[in-house]
Amino acid sequence: MREVVSALRDELARRGEVAHAKVLFEPEAPSDAGVAIANFVGADSEVFSTTRARGGSTRGRLLVNARVHLDPVELRRSAERALDRVLPRFRASHRTLDGSHFRPGRPIPLHRFGASATP
C-alpha cells in the first residue's frame, strides 16, 4: 500500500500543488484481514499507513481521495499513471469503475476593507 501511495504522491507532485491524499483499500471478500489506509499531506511529506490489512487479497476496491490544484481530468490521468507504474510490481492491475471530481469556484470574501490600518 505504501508503494502505491508513494507513486501517487510522486506523480501528482510533478503535475500540480498537492494538499493531501488518502487511499483506502477494501478487500472484495469479507474477511478478518480488514482494510488498508494510507495518506500523505503535501508533496514533500512522508506516506503514513494508518491501518494495515492483514494477509493478502487478490481482489478489492481502491478508493483515492486527493485534493490537488490540477485540472480534474489530468488529476484522474495522473492517478491512473501512478497505478499503471506500480501495480505490475505486485502482479496486480486496476480498472476504473467510477470517479467523481470537481473544480471549486473562486472564494468569495465575506468582508472587504477599503484601506489597510497602520498602527
pLDDT in tens, the chain (119 residues): 888 899 999 998 898 888 899 999 888 876 667 888 999 998 888 999 888 777 667 678 889 998 888 888 888 899 999 999 998 988 888 888 788 877 776 777 777 666 666 66
> What's residue 60's pLDDT?
84
Burial 45-82 (b: 16+ CB within 10 A, else e): eebeeeeebeeebeebebebebebebeeeebbebbbbb
In contact, 63 and 26? CB cutoff 8 Å? yes
Residue 89, all three cell numbers: 510490481
Instruction: Please report where in the chains the cell 506500480 appears, as a residue.
Output: 86
> What's residue 56's pLDDT?
67
In contact, 37 and 51? CB cutoff 8 Å? yes
The DSSP call for residue 33 is T
Task: Give the 3-state secondary structure of residue 61.
Answer: strand
> What's residue 31's pLDDT?
65
> What's residue 7's pLDDT?
93
Burial class (CB within 10 angstroms; exposed 0-12, middle 13-18, buried 19+) of 12 = buried
